[in-house]
Amino acid sequence: METATFTTEWDKVFSRSNKVNHSKVTFKNRYGITLVADLYIPQNASGKLPAIAVSGPFGAVKEQSSGLYAQTMAERGFLTIAFDPSYTGESGGTPRYVASPDINTEDFCAAIDFLSIRNDVDPERIGIIGICGWGGFALNAAAIDTRIKATVTATMYDMSRVNANGYFDAMTPDQRYELRKQLNAQRTLDAQNGSYALAGGVVDPLPEDAPQFVKDYYTYYKTSRGYHPRSLNSNNGWNKTSSLSFINMPILTYSDEIRSAVLMIHGENAHSRYFSEDAFKKLKGDNKELLIIPGANHTDLYDQMEIIPFDKLESFFKEYLK
């Protein structure tokens, strides 16, 4: 039986709030993996509360952006959890640092399982927030889990699309074939070595001619602003072969069937803005909204409190989790 180990110390990249109570909790997904989460409850709360589960960005841990979102929304009256995905951070699963569009979507659904049976949560008032790559998984979860009444995506990435087609869908069929050859050759090496190679993550040292979005990632993950020792983006990166499942397992196939409310926010200057815009075009219903933040880049929506529209998030969840 898998057991989880986690620190009880406050080791977040953001300051602890005196307006909420914090503790660690665990729950299992349907693959038997134990997920570890930070639970934030408004002080002096009573009765059954509306609840929100938060995760992301891809490769990050709950001590970073997702925890900041969760704590801030708890200050505004919601019971929240920020969880580490399977194979990541303090959550279980082996081998470490791999990813799956199926398992990561299930992680959100397992978070809904956990929240739905708590005595202090109203199971009819549960929402989710997905940040960056987890914005795509959040939409994917909302398409299958009718218990999710409201979904927010922040600076969303479609991980399947970018792995399969490259940025701005620029990858040719020949390039896609060569990528598959490289990833499968790495699998052979891993099998021979009895280990799993780590690659990807944020480039370090930063090249002088790096694109602006790479500089943005570096500033967040490689400096005191967002560095955390358990984050793979802060350290080694993701397993080379972990992207294989994303290449031919698209997410968002049924996002047009989402009936619950959706709010998508993205920075005006973010290189990834087209992911949110294209995903939004597929959504149906008058309870869907796309909010573009003027002047904001991709990582501004990770942690810049003066830029993240928390007032809008609060009003959105209060409207659709009432």
Give the residue-averaged pLDDT of 281-302.
Answer: 98
Answer yes or no: is pLDDT of 199 > 80.
no
Q: What is the pTM of this model?
A: 0.97
pLDDT tier, 1 (very low <50, low <70, confident <90, very high otherwise):
low
| φ, ψ dihedrals at 287, nearest 5° | -105, 25
Give the tens place of pLDDT for each residue, 253-279.
Answer: 999 999 999 999 999 999 999 999 999
What is the C-alpha to C-alpha distance for residues 38 and 14, in angstroms, rounded to an integer? 13
User: What's the number of CA atoms in the CB half-sphere (13 Å) around residue 113?
Assistant: 13
Answer yes or no: is pLDDT of 200 > 90.
no
Give the tens place of pLDDT for each residue, 51-106.
Answer: 999 999 999 999 999 999 999 999 999 999 999 999 999 999 988 888 999 999 99
Question: Helix crossing, 133-144 with 273-282: angle to 10°?
Answer: 10
| φ, ψ dihedrals at 219, nearest 5° | -60, -40
What is the C-alpha to C-alpha distance for residues 144 and 242, in angstroms, rounded to an integer? 23
Give the residue-averaged pLDDT of 4-17.
Answer: 94
- Residue ranges of the alpha helices (H) in the chain? 65-75, 101-116, 133-144, 159-165, 173-193, 212-221, 244-247, 273-282, 300-303, 310-320
